[in-house]
């Protein structure tokens, strides 16, 4: 280590005051210095933080104990949109020094860091932090003066096992990791039908319940469901689509899922709706399903099959679809080709969906065509998903206390952060959501009308 650098860093520690003047305490109305490991941060540390955040376009507050500091390019002119509360000074190490940005998320999960104020604005701070470059001198000053050693506790218990090949066993374990939390936990913030996918907002002020009903109906209309037809829902969740399609369109519906908890609740809901014999839900991998169906839907499922398995997935769907039938694939896409190691992808695979992989919609459509599908309609719904996620976050926050009866605080924070971050990514266009309507390429006439008028006429 450079001796001159070490001496400079040590001098920062030695010159730190033991206490701040009374006028600098928060209760005086004047922003005070941030407390370090053994007292408030010295002027050199304050200057460093101010320099690091001078390009931040807004205003934020950083607080630890009885000390706080206002940061940002508009700190002197705008009230802070949010406050980062450091319950443990090591949280700042995760924020500013760690090579793995997910350590910051772990600090939030474990309660070392809290957010007060606008949670969505706080998440947008990642765009500023990702562009920060610290010299080794600055890193050492922060490490020696501002931060204590990292704690022994970690968020390892929140992490999922990695998925390598998207085998049947890996996919089943990944689904269990995500969905086996508690049906009651999901019911707290989903709509009454428990639709865990993008809603369809016909107006800006449409309630979530109505928007999810409209989405289910939008899918049924696109598939042109008719009484007596057979419908397959691949990745049926808690059974919302198969129940809706049977009740309102008279089809015989089959849903498949890998989640035992979803299957159990779906079957109970089918029985309660009096649809036994017309609707069934099976525990089954899509690769093992046999038979043929008039219509097939897949809503929010193909993201989990793995990019290398997309030909297998769409090939299986083509095999299961009757000639002249329709298939609708509803799923999330990414602005970049392939599923790389961006912060968002690492976060999702580590804490939320171990088997999740996304790609551009152009590649998805290319694979569908290679598997002998003719594409009839493509509809982008990313802003609908942004609204859906914001509604889910609001409902989750309102049900915070009730949620803790089903999951611990750390898991609650994972879901809150995950859904809020995804809402921002849909709003920015980093994530997309597309419904792709297709049929077997069989040389016959297309099984769709000449116009889309049937989608909007009264049913």
- Catalytic residue positions, numbered: 422
From 68, 105, 63, select the one nearest 84 (Cα to Cα): 63
- Six-digit token pair at 154? 């970690």
What is the C-alpha to C-alpha distance for residues 107 and 88, in angstroms, rounded to an integer? 9
With beta carbons less than 8 A apart as the criterion, state whether 187 and 376 touch. Answer: no
Residue pair 170/61 in contact by the 8 Å Cβ criterion: no
Which residues have CB under 8 Å from 45's CB, separation 6+? 12, 33, 34, 36, 141, 142, 145, 146
- The DSSP symbol for 179 reads H
Q: Are strands 252-257 and 113-117 parallel, antiparallel or unpaired?
A: unpaired
| Angle CA 240–243–244, to nearest 5 | 80
* Rg, the chain, Cα only: 26
Q: Cα separation of 35 and 165, whole Å?
A: 48
Rounded distance, CA 78 to CA 260, Å?
A: 51
Whole-number Å distance between alpha carbons of 369 and 361? 12
* Nearest CA among 108, 244, 254, 239 for reference residue 183: 239
Does residue 46 sit in helix, strand or coil?
A: helix
Torsions phi, psi for 189 (to 5 deg): -120, -10
Q: Can you spell out the DSSP letters for 291-340?
A: S-EEEEEEES-GGGS-GGGHHHHHHHHHHHEEEEEEEEEEEEEESSSS--
Task: With H, G, I as helix, E, B as strand and everything else as coil, classify residue 178.
Answer: helix
Q: Phi, psi at residue 133, to the nearest 5°?
A: -125, 120
**Two tokens, residue 8:** 């400079």
- C-alpha 90: how far from chain center: 26
Q: Residue 340 corresponds to which tokens in the numbers above?
A: 């790389």
Neighbouring residues of 189: CB distance < 8 A, sequence distance ≥ 6: 392, 395, 396, 399, 403
SS3 of 39, please?
A: strand
For tokens 């449409």, name the residue: 206
Q: Residue 421 burial (CB < 10 Å; 0-12/13-18/19+)?
A: buried
């Amino acid at each position: 280590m450079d001796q001159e650098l070490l001496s400079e860093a040590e001098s920062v520690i030695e010159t730190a005051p033991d206490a701040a003047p009374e006028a600098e305490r928060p209760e005086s109305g004047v922003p005070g210095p941030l407390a370090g490991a053994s007292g408030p941060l010295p002027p050199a540390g304050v200057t460093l933080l101010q320099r690091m955040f001078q390009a931040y376009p807004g205003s934020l507050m950083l607080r630890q104990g009885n000390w706080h500091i206002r940061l940002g390019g508009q700190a002197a002119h705008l009230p802070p949109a949010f406050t980062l509360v450091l319950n443990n000074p090591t949280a700042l190490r995760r924020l500013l020094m760690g090579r793995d940005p997910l350590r910051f998320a772990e600090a939030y999960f474990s309660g070392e860091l809290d957010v007060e104020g606008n949670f969505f604005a706080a998440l947008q701070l990642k765009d500023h932090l990702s562009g920060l470059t610290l010299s080794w001198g600055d890193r050492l000053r922060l490490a020696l003066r501002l931060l204590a050693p990292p704690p022994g506790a970690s968020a390892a218990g929140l992490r999922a096992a990695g998925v390598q090949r998207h085998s049947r066993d890996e996919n089943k374990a990944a689904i269990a990791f995500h969905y086996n939390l508690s049906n009651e936990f999901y019911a707290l913030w989903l709509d009454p039908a428990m639709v865990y996918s993008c809603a369809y907002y016909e107006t800006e002020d449409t309630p979530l319940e109505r928007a999810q009903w409209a989405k289910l109906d939008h899918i049924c209309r696109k598939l042109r469901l008719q009484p007596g037809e057979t419908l397959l829902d691949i990745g049926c969740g808690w059974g919302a689509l198969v129940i809706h399609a049977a009740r309102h369109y008279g089809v015989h519906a089959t849903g498949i899922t890998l989640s035992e908890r979803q299957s159990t609740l779906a079957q109970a809901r089918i029985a309660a709706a009096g649809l036994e014999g017309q609707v069934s839900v099976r525990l089954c991998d899509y690769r093992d399903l046999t038979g043929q169906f008039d219509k097939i839907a897949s809503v929010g499922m193909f993201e989990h099959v793995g990019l290398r398995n997309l030909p297998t997935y769409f090939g299986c769907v083509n095999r299961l679809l009757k000639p002249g039938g329709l298939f609708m694939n509803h799923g999330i896409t990414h602005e970049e080709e392939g599923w790389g190691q961006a912060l968002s992808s690492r976060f999702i695979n580590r804490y939320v969906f171990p088997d999740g992989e996304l790609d551009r919609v152009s590649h998805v459509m290319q694979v569908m065509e290679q598997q002998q599908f003719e594409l009839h309609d493509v509809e982008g719904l990313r802003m609908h998903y942004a609204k859906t996620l914001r509604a889910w976050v609001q409902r989750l926050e309102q049900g915070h206390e009730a949620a803790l009866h089903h999951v611990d605080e750390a898991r609650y924070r994972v879901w809150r952060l995950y859904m809020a971050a995804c809402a921002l990514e849909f709003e920015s266009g980093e994530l997309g959501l597309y419904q792709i309507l297709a049929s077997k390429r069989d040389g016959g006439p297309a099984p769709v009308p000449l116009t889309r008028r049937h989608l909007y006429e009264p049913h």
